Chain A
């Protein structure tokens, strides 16, 4: 797992532990150690409740962890202020969610442009960059439609456009195909593969073995522990 030292590592986790406090504290992540190299397309698979989303939220600096170390692109992610976390999320990470998480009263273009708004980029440039990404997703003609007027696949492609508009070092996707039929899922995975070929690092949490098979490495997680990590030769064949 710690091979490929010659290649640049984007994510490096060492002995990460996370417990949800409560009447019965829940130890969700147990000594997770993991490296993800630049340009990888990785899937995280495991049973429901095994801790996949928790892990992804920690990777996305949306949640914190109790012990261990997390290096993101050379930056130690630990005890960050809200402002710093927001800044890192904005510049380094793009999120894609199962339920799309688009803002319902903003049209596709405005949704895609929103991360740039928080970078203080002017409206004209924002809209130009957002439009470029929508074109890349084949959605130029839907730019002025509200999310409610788009199909599930289109919504997810808008969400992907929003995730990549800031040119982040990492895309994190939690069940991005969970709400889509198999054909649309295939299309969305096609988009992820294209993005990966253009050099983007992508981590996808999924239940779907088909989705897992179309990534180039599967990390298996069970009961909060990493069970194993295997390359997917099938993927190469598909190419």
Chain B
């Protein structure tokens, strides 16, 4: 085996510039493939992060204004959902496994020992943590007991906790004042852009004696796998609300619906296509490489007909000629392919520092199993590339080859 490699390194040296040119083409192809795979992986990772930290199986609904006249009502009418809509939807829409509501209370300040924040808070159900994608840093989110016992609990954004108390550690377990009452800080969360404060919906309703009007409703969806089903569920929800609030079910503006789940499913589809595209490109790259290496091996065999004739005359069996050409092809492909893999991975390392989550990439790298798979593919490609030239080499007749100078 060692002898074989010695033979090969000699013949490669003998055809240095052609080998290097083709080799670089292979290296470039593999390099591009690795970078593409890495970039696609980055997009997929980003998508997965997004969907795992949030659970995407939600449909969010906001109150809106009608845009179509209906049953004697004029258009432009304000529609305000009520908390009772939630139970109705849960009861009627099969795919709705859970729901939460959110009412925005505004026009007052939240006061802490150090400072105050203006605006108000959102009165919510525990489900808001998941649907709003809030990462708890300390404490907990609003829970069912808060609602049942009408506790005056409040969850703050970490920036606001710092503002009100000087530091978020001092905030947890302490009191803030809002609407003339004191509220206990039970949790502190972080989020890229949300800053709202959250209190239990039931507590808020009991304080204000409210009319049950809510601004936002989040429906959790279950038992659904296709985009069509997700869209059908959205339609069912709209129909329930249309009936209860007397608007045209075709009116898209009476309530605004953000069907995250349908988006997720269609994005998932896009990711499948993205992966597919990368593999198609990859396979085409590899095929181009095979054709390139195969070509140089053909040229090499043709140029070495005389040499092959000499080898045959002094006792080389067809098998050893085949082995030599095949190994040569595999060595060229694997060597330069490897250069491509390594430089591609190096570039991805740099890119993973530059391309961040905000740009739609998370950790755009290729793991070692993919590198190994590519290596195996390279060896197979090299063997395939060398196969036909090798078979051609065995067709060389020693008598004729020896004449040929």
In the complex, A114 has a CB within 8 A of chain B: yes
Does B317 contact A82, Cβ atoms closer than 8 Å? Answer: yes
The answer for the CA separation of A57 and B318 in the assembled complex, in Å, is: 19
Q: Closest CB-CB distance, B337 to chain A, in whole Å?
A: 26
A91 proximal to B (CB < 8 A): yes
- Cβ-defined contact, B312 with A86, below 8 A: yes
Segment at the B interface, from A101-109, A150-158, A181-189, A218-226: A101-109
Given contacts A57-B399, A105-B10, contact A123 B314 (CB under 8 A): no
Answer yes or no: B380 CB below 8 A from chain A CBs.
Answer: no
B182 CB, nearest partner CB in chain A, Å: 91
- Asked if A97 meets B402 with Cβ closer than 8 Å, knowing A105-B14, A106-B10, A118-B314, the reply is yes
Complex CA distance for A57 and B309, rounded to whole angstroms: 13
B299: Cβ under 8 A from any A Cβ:
no
Q: Which residues of B contact A101 (CB under 8 A)?
A: 306, 309-310, 313, 402
- Whether A235 sits at the interface, judged by CB under 8 Å, is no
Interface residues of A toward B: which range?
20 to 34
Cross-chain contact B318 with A82 (CB below 8 angstroms): yes
In the complex, are the beta carbons of B313 and A95 less than 8 A apart? yes
The interface size bin for chain B is 20 to 34
A90 pairs with B315, CB closer than 8 A? yes
Cβ of A47 within 8 Å of any chain B Cβ, yes or no, is no
Q: Is the CB of B315 within 8 A of A60?
A: no
Q: Given the complex, which residues of B lie within 8 Å of A119, measured CB to CB?
A: 315
Q: Which residue of B lies closest to A106 (CB)?
A: B10
Q: Is A239 an interface residue (CB 8 A)?
A: no
Taking CB atoms, residues of chain A closer than 8 Å to B316 are 86, 118
Do A62 and B307 touch (CB < 8 A)? no
**Given A103-B307, A105-B10: A90 touches B319 (CB 8 Å cut-off):** no
Q: Determine whether the beta carbon of B402 is less than 8 Å from that of A118.
A: no
Give Cα distance in the complex from A101 to B314, angstroms. 11
Q: How far is the CA of A95 from the CA of B310 in the complex (A)?
A: 10
Interface residues of A (CB under 8 A from B): 57, 60, 62-63, 82-83, 86-87, 89-91, 95, 97, 99, 101-103, 105-106, 114-115, 117-119, 123, 162, 166
For the complex of A and B, list the 10 residue pairs with the smallest distance between their C-beta atoms, beginning with the closest: A90-B315, A118-B315, A105-B14, A115-B314, A86-B317, A62-B399, A101-B310, A63-B399, A62-B398, A83-B317
